[in-house]
Chain A
Amino acid sequence: MTRYVVLVISILLTFIVEPAFAKVSLEIYGQSYKKVTIGTPPFKGDTAVKLKADMTDLLAKDLDMSGFFIVAPKTVMDRELTEEGVEKKEIRFENWRSLGIELVCKSLLQTQNGGLVLETYLYDSSDGTLLFGKRYRTKVDEWRRLVHRLADDIIQAVTGERGIMSSRVLFVAGDRKSKEVYVADLDGAGSRKLTNYGKITLSPTMSPDGRYLAFTSYKEGRPNLYVIDLERNREVYVNREDGMKLASAWFDKRTLVYTHTSGNYSTIYSENVETKDRKVLLRQEGILASPGFSIDGKKMVFVSDMYGTAQIFMRDLASGETKRLTYAGNYNTTPSLSPKGDLIAYGCKTEGALEICVMKADGSEPRVLTDGGVNDSPQFSPCGRYIIYSSSNGSKAGIYLVLHNGDNKRALKLNSGEETQPKFLP
């Protein structure tokens, strides 16, 4: 398999007139944030009308999906507004203000040497301040990635942190007889199958450099743990020991962390998939599941039934000190530690449903984010503001995105089948 095509965008000019200020901030336990109203008039320039319209639409879609903006509908912008130039002196900000639009995002798209050149300027309509200005160059067929990059830059300029619109998602899709591992853009474009065994394949996780993909598959009858090298398209590791083996996380580029349940015991191993050097991180009677790590690799969050029911624990790897984090209810599983280490998203069983919850990393202040059904496999985005998870309510499971405060719930349309176990690609 070839490595993902890396979008090369040369940023020729960057005019950030004043430091990016955080207009919007997300507070999980504080007040809710206020969305900013943004106008994204049609891209101007000499390129094909269709491409300009598609790019304008995609930008609006991305900004809307981020949850930080109210994107002014096309219909509110009259001819005068849509035909206005992109330069500050050409813009009549009072017209934008009168519509309640706080930010104006102007783009000029031109073709040069067969490629695309995009210039975008983001103005504060209250005083015409230029908040952000960039010129991008790329190939024509990379226009979607270009728009996602632009959206992420705008989100960064407004919120102080990059957006996730350029992200790709790893997930499992299929039906009861066959499930395969896929990767797709967050908006569902560019969906690609990474496995093709025609059997049940589950719990994929990709190494931080995107080279190795680990998963459990029933392709040989029994569930075994496999690692494939996506660059060379070959299997580099198989674990066929008795029992259930499930990959959970990568400790570093080569070291896979997985659980093994067999006999009376469950074990969390870390193993270098190249040298096969294996270490026991934790072994206990009963069930151990879903180990994950803090960014510094010092703490491990995991699930254990050592007190009779599935609960979440945090272990300091150096000292071995283990703290139980969840006490409410009899089923708290599949934890995901936020990149900043301050929050944990997890699945908890409430009356009749399996919900996605968020709590502080010490186990305090748990909150339910979902509303019934079977919700599974929450995972934080690399920026820590979003949680991706799967959800089904008696019907086909699909993948959803939500801000960690529970706002902005969005169904992602990645694949036509039953979709589960989403993960942001590193």
Chain B
Amino acid sequence: MKLATTVLIVAMLFVVYGCPPKPVYVPISERTGQPVEQEIKAPDTQAGRDTSAKGKGGIEEELLQRDLERQKKLQEQMKQGAALLNKDILFEYDSYTVAPEYQGLVKDVAAWLNQNQTVKVAVEGHCDERGTIDYNLALGQKRAEAVKGQLVKLGIKEERIKTISYGKEMPADPGHTEAAWAKNRRAHFQIENGGPK
């Protein structure tokens, strides 16, 4: 976040100081320390493009602006991804078949992973408490593998998806009701790297 703020401030400086009518190039070293109290304007791409043709300053401004946009877009995508990946895939008792109603979610996750090639995910497999510890550890693995298998079929490279089973050791809901058990029989996504913390 710190980096993003710095980039934003620097970018704003460019927007304010680097704009026509009279573009004057001010080296970064001379600009640091100046108060940034100007009204923050929305990035003006039109202005940016105009200046790009003129002088060094314009080119620099455009690059930073593009970076800023890229970063913003990435952040948005990550937010979108985090929301997407926060949705669990639930399973029937003792089953590791991904139910048809979750095909949409799996497709969305695959599409998102395709857009964000640097991201790696872990698929965690979990079970409800009404099973033996050992069998549940294997069952959780199969649940995670089932989701991974579908993502691979949708074109995601295998090495980007890790699987990890927790059996019944980490319930989402510690209750002892049907509703709790249903929530606990799940595959959960975790962004491994390349994503927001």
Residues of A whose CB lies within 8 Å of any CB of B are 176, 179, 200, 202-203, 216, 222-223, 242-244, 246, 248, 259, 261-264, 266, 286-290, 303, 305, 309-310, 330-331, 333-334, 347, 349, 352-354, 374, 376-377, 394, 420-421
Contact = CB atoms under 8 A, between A and B. Distances in A.
Given A223-B165, A310-B94, A264 B135 contact: no
Contacts of B129: 374
A377 B133 contact: yes
Counting contact residues on chain B (CB < 8 A from A), the size range is: 20 to 34
B94 A330 contact: yes
B161 to A, nearest CB: 11
B164 A377 contact: no
A420 B133 contact: yes
B137 interface: yes
A374 B171 CA distance: 15
Given A203-B137, A259-B138, 15 more contacts: A200-B166, A202-B169, A244-B138, A264-B145, A286-B142, A287-B139, A288-B138, A289-B138, A290-B134, A303-B135, A305-B94, A331-B131, A334-B134, A374-B130, A376-B133
Contacts of A333: 131-132, 134-135
B176 A394 contact: yes
A376 B145 contact: no
A354 B132 contact: yes
B139 A354 contact: no
Nearest to B140: A244
A244 B165 contact: yes
Interface string B120-135: 0000000001111111
Given A243-B141, A262-B145, A331 B134 contact: no
B130 A289 contact: no
B93 to A, nearest CB: 8
B163 interface: yes
A224 to B, nearest CB: 11
A207 B155 CA distance: 45
Given A222-B164, A330-B94, A289 B169 contact: no
Interface in B88-143: 94, 129-135, 137-142
Contacts of A347: 132
B85 to A, nearest CB: 19
Contact of B132 (A288, A376, A394): A376
Given A223-B165, A242-B163, A261 B134 contact: no
A246 B145 contact: no
Contacts, number: 91
A223 B162 CA distance: 12
Contacts of A303: 135
Contacts of B26: none
B4 interface: no
Nearest to A244: B141
Nearest to B128: A374
B170 interface: yes
Closest 7 CB pairs of A and B: A244-B141, A334-B132, A261-B141, A333-B135, A261-B138, A287-B138, A333-B132
B169 A200 contact: yes
Contacts of B131: 331, 333, 349, 354
A223 B131 CA distance: 19
Nearest to B164: A222
A246 B164 contact: no
Contact of B137 (A202, A353, A377): A202
Nearest to B145: A263
A303 B94 CA distance: 13
A272 B106 CA distance: 41
A403 B149 CA distance: 45
B185 to A, nearest CB: 13
B192 to A, nearest CB: 11
A421 B133 contact: yes
Contacts of A330: 94
A333 B167 CA distance: 15
A109 B163 CA distance: 61
Contacts of A289: 134-135, 138
Given A242-B163, A333-B131, A354-B131, A266 B170 contact: no
Contacts of A216: 137
